[in-house]
Structure 1
Amino acid sequence: MKLSQLPLLLLAAATTTLAQDWHFVAFTTPDGQEFISQSGNMIVPAIHEAATNYLWPGLQSTDNSGVYQNVLDGRSGGWWFGSGWCCSNPSLPWGGGFGAAEGDVLFFNNTRNTDSSEWVSVIEKNCGEASATNSFPIADKVMNDAPFAAELYGAWDFGPVIFEDVILIATGDDTRFCTDNPWNYNGATNVSITGVISTVGVDTVTCNIESITLWGPA
């Protein structure tokens, strides 16, 4: 399944206004495979004024019921970083988070726990300067898409959005979700991806990506 439904979802905040401008790439598992872990670092860009802009890595389920994401939120005029499931089916409270400034390195790790009852999010700023851990009862969701997104209601005036040392782990043994080019929604984003390596283990594929950079609108 491609993320053809993703721009119709209400992602980073409960709002009745659809995003004005979508920029994302998405890695999609072949049929019969699903993501069980997503981790990496996000470099905080500049912020010039309050704007309803959301920058995030995330996972989307096959039923299009929502998106599980770690969101850098610029509405206050400063960045705030937190984790959550947005926005319905089920309706869940947003997890904890913390403020972030330009140049901060934000670590994110979303992992389905071993008994498949919950997804657990661990986020940190600058190797432990701030952190938050939250669990979400959404393990029944089959996560087959991993988008890296800039969801804009304001202008792209913050520079490139950089993800580094990304690791995606999926069930199965097909590496195409890693080695094929990800979907660039509507060709809307100038993007560069470096250092992609796939490794097949016992019923899992690990995809290591050195960097994903969303430079700006195409």
Structure 2
Amino acid sequence: MADAVPVRLAVLVSGNGTNLQAFIDHIESHEINGRIACVVSNKRDAFALKRAEQYGIPTIVHESGAYADRRDYDAALVAILRNHDVQLIVLAGFMRILTDVMVDAFPHAIMNIHPALLPAFPGLHAQKQALDYGVRFAGCTVHFVDRGTDTGPIILQAVVPVFENDSEETLAARIQQEEHRIYPEAVRLFCAGKICVDGRRVRVSP
């Protein structure tokens, strides 16, 4: 039986690209049956672009200045991704909120990771929200993107303890270690055809 054709991925970035590196590592080790077709950044100086270039991955800078509004920006982004025949879009620190134009173009094919156990603490500064609330456990959530803010169907979650002396930085570092573990796993499951969305539930085939 022939090997399955690798799934074509796009990784959307704005910053350092540590999750991008995790994807690259898992693809290089053949744990993910995928190929990164392009890395798109809304910031020209994002270090993630240099990470991609080191591996010969096509990079695209897609800044917002030339567009009238977010929907126009997203329409151009959809065209870029379709031009690269992308099947799965992975948000890796992409600091823009996607509009319906983007979400509707790729239903159940856009993943994001959030540094909290959704539905708790959506939006910005999730680690600070968790510490201020006094929770004993925090974590991260991989989910599909829908029209809401961190409201899409949940794929995977990981839990970390919150310690008495934690700061936002120490908690974020502990959560990020789990991000680098479960985000590539979610992508691996998608590329292996093991994910099915049933309403709000994401079912994973054994």
For Structure 1 versus Structure 2, the TM-score category normalised by the shorter chain is: under 0.3
Using structure 2 for the length normalisation, give the TM-score: 0.26
Using structure 1 for the length normalisation, give the TM-score: 0.25
Higher RCO structure, 1 or 2 (CA under 8 Å, sep 6+)? 1
The answer to which structure has the higher strand fraction is 1
Larger Rg: 2
